[in-house]
Amino acid sequence: MFNDRSSLAAYLATRRSGKPRDMVAPGPDAQQVAAMVEVAARTPDHGKLAPWRFIDVPAGARGEFAAMLEAAYRAEKPDAGRLEIEAIRQFAHQAPALIVVLSSPRDSHIPVWEQELSAGAATMNLIHAAHAEGFVAGWLTGWAAFSPAVLAGLGSRAGEKIAGFVFIGSPSRDLDERPRPVVADILSSWSA
């Protein structure tokens, strides 16, 4: 997709997330997902710890994934209403592809915070890789990212956290632009 530095710079200057609910087929196949994860793993990683994991939730497993999410939600909110449950089911089925990224810190002299930042960077690299393959991606969190039952349902290991749910597919419409911060408001110069 990027033939030279200027096209990469143009992409980065205009990158937008896709809304998972607006994504349609085609999505990436297994080889494309593996290639995206390979790119995602080329992220800053102090200590070469690979403090992240990627879990592909294939289309054929989305029903079971939705059931796991629903059970976790009902355990936390036994009085959940119909609309809440429908939203959870819809979350599980949106977009052709879903990759869950876990922050997976290792025992090391490298602080956990640095390892968690690396997981965030790996998630962003996954999104860039999806766009480079010609797809769009959207990174969501929400209640499921903080649910111990969902984390357990994903087969988590001790100390892991959900960094996000990355949905990948083709856009069904033009991507929305959102307001961006003014550089002068977020960039300062340090002086002694």
**Digit-coded pLDDT (tens) for 45-66:** 999 999 999 999 999 999 999 9
Q: Which residues is 102 bridged to in the sheet?
A: 53, 162
Domain that holds residue 65: 17-173
User: Tokens 């490298």 sit at which residue?
Assistant: 110
Element (H, E) at 139: strand 136-140
Check pLDDT > 90 for residue 6.
no
Domain assignment present for residue 166? The answer is yes
Contact status, residue 185 vs residue 142, Cβ threshold 8 Å = no
In a domain, 58, yes or no: yes
Q: Is residue 73 part of a domain?
A: yes
Asked if residue 56 is part of any domain, the answer here is: yes
Task: Give the chain's largest Cα–Cα span.
Answer: 58
* CATH value at residue 164: 3.40.109.10
**In sequence order, what are the residues at sequence separation of 6 or more whose Cβ sits closer than 8 angstroms to the Cβ of residue 25?**
96, 169, 170
Residue 107 maps to a domain: yes
Confidence band for 7, pLDDT divided at 50, 70 and 90: confident
Does the residue 85 lie in any domain? yes
Structural contact between residues 115 and 188, judged by C-beta atoms closer than 8 angstroms: no
Q: How many domains does the chain have?
A: 1
Backbone angles phi, psi at 45, to 5 degrees: -150, 80
Query: By three-state DSSP, how is residue 134 classified?
Result: coil
Please say whether the beta carbons of 98 and 165 come within 8 A. yes
Residue 126: inside a domain: yes
Answer whether residue 182 is part of any domain. Answer: no
Q: What is the mean pLDDT of residues 25-42?
A: 98
176 has a pLDDT exceeding 70: yes
